[in-house]
Structure 1
Amino acid sequence: MTGSIQIGIVVFPDMTQLDATGPLQVFSAVPGVTVHLLWKDLTPVPTDSVMVITPTTTFADAPQLDVVCVPGGYGTDDLVNDREVVAFLQRQADGARYVTSVCTGALVLGAAGLLRGYRAATHWTAMDVLDIFGATPTPQRVVIDRNRVTGGGVTAGIDFALALVAEIFDRPAAEAVQLRLEYDPRPPFTAGSPDTAPADVVERYLQRIAPHKARRREAVERAAARLAEDATA
């Protein structure tokens, strides 16, 4: 693929910064790629950590993107019902080569009607609501279904970005970035998945986030109802 590749990552309040900064580090290491950090305005947005991210481009000023990407985080509960965000994604998706997400960013794509009929990944705690948007929840680190590319939770964003670089360019280009980043993960524990983590760890975590899961489901169901209404309007 020749010419400059325009990649836009949506940033928003209460996002999980690694969902965005992991892919950002990968994309920024590829020659010929321009990355935009997109939001409604250029006001710095707080993340779910101490880091604050400053957008580089507004929705109104964004070029037509080759890749549009939505990261995740608790802030997606608000984004799924944010008409300005949804409308921006719908406009960009019409001309984008790839429509993508990391973690619960998949729910925002779903709220824009962009995952109906597609297999998609998301954070394991959100798998139970992804199908409300007509997607097929697929518990993999990276899912590529036609031009929809979705990553699982948080750290899967690096895997997602490397897989996407291989799709856009080729495998050697992605491998060169992986080598540059020395991305050779060897975690000290095997607790990174509900399938491998100790059962008591999983249970305690689910108890802790139960109120948030209830809030997320309510937000997703409201977004799905709005999407259905818009389709019949």
Structure 2
Amino acid sequence: MTQLDFTGPLQVLGRMPASEVCVIARTLDPVGTDGALTVLPTHDINTAPDLDLICVPGGFGIASVAKSQISIEFIRRQALHARYVTSVCTGALILGAAGLLRGKKATTHWAYHDLLPLFGAEPVKARVVRDGNVFTGGGVTAGIDFALTILAEVAGPDLAKTVQLGLEYNPAPPFNSGHPDIADPVALEAANRRYAPALAETRAAFENWSDPRNSGTKWDRK
């Protein structure tokens, strides 16, 4: 997964009062990231408690997650009772594969926006999108905005503002290049080249997608 997709929201949501954070994976084996960090799950999908809030991070590994019936069914099952169903970056595509974005407005990383309609979702260009109890965050750094939005929803804006201040989250990037609508054409071309292989793999993983609640859907049972 993309390290900041996970650690950005965790840094914020870990300050939720009277709460417990669970890090859940298919197994208890360490989970690699696109950086030097390795994440140790606290639960596997068989021992995870019922969640009040489920958050699915993204990253180049989602193509394999999309093919895992066990993972998709776990997310769909948790969403039945979760108060909030959320994602960051390309984690939205996993919510989609679980049938949770149909008829919903949603966002994801800009390079993957055109995949959202595959799941019956309406793509929205925004860093955070809410539709009912479904919250989706845009790419990578948007996970911090997303988490502050959730924190304000659950624990109130005063606490969210205090956490933002404590994190000194006051973005002032050195370049005006954080979105394709404003990025330098050279930077945009380079970014598109970088994402092309992973985007092709992800598109292939989802191109024959159908709602997992319908019969005839084929998944790898792992």
After TM superposition, the score normalised by the length of structure 1 is: 0.90
For structure 2, the residue ranges without an aligned partner over 5 or more in a row are: 217-222
Question: Using the alignment, how far apart are the partners of 1:181 and 1:96 within structure 2?
Answer: 27
Amino acid at match of 2:81: G
Question: Using the alignment, how far apart are the partners of 2:63 and 2:119 within structure 1?
Answer: 14
Counterpart for residue 162 of structure 1:
148
Query: Does the 8 Å contact 1:30/1:177 carry over to 2?
Result: no
Tell whether 2:195 aligns with 1:231.
Answer: no
Tell whether 2:39 aligns with 1:53.
Answer: yes
Tell whether 2:8 aligns with 1:19.
Answer: no
**Structure 1 residue 208: Cα displacement:** 3.0
Query: Does the 8 Å contact 2:16/2:155 carry over to 1?
Result: no
RMSD: 1.2
For structure 1, the residue ranges without an aligned partner over 5 or more in a row are: 1-14
Query: Does the 8 Å contact 1:81/1:111 carry over to 2?
Result: no
Amino acid at match of 1:148: V
After TM superposition, the score normalised by the length of structure 2 is: 0.94
Larger relative contact order (C-alpha < 8 A, sep ≥ 6)? Answer: 2
Q: 1:201 aligns with which of 187, 196, 201?
A: 187
Counterpart for residue 28 of structure 2:
42
Q: Percent identity?
A: 50
Question: Using the alignment, how far apart are the partners of 1:204 and 1:184 within structure 2?
Answer: 27
Counterpart for residue 167 of structure 2:
181
Counterpart for residue 95 of structure 1:
81
Instruction: Map 1:115-126 onto structure 2 (within 5 A).
Output: 115-126=101-112
Amino acid at match of 2:65: L
Q: Which runs of at least 4 in structure 1 moved beyond 3 Å after TM superposition?
A: none
Q: 1:171 aligns with which of 151, 157, 167?
A: 157
**Structure 1 residue 232: Cα displacement:** 3.8
Question: Using the alignment, how far apart are the partners of 1:19 and 1:192 within structure 2?
Answer: 16
**Structure 1 residue 207: Cα displacement:** 2.3
Counterpart for residue 140 of structure 1:
126
Counterpart of 2:67 in 1: which secondary structure?
coil
Amino acid at match of 1:231: N
**Structure 1 residue 114: Cα displacement:** 0.6
Counterpart for residue 65 of structure 2:
79
Tell whether 2:178 aligns with 1:192.
Answer: yes
**Structure 1 residue 173: Cα displacement:** 1.4
Q: 1:99-150 deviations in whole A, cap 9, x for unaligned?
A: 0000000000000001001000100000011110111111100001100000
Number of residue-to-residue matches in the alignment: 216
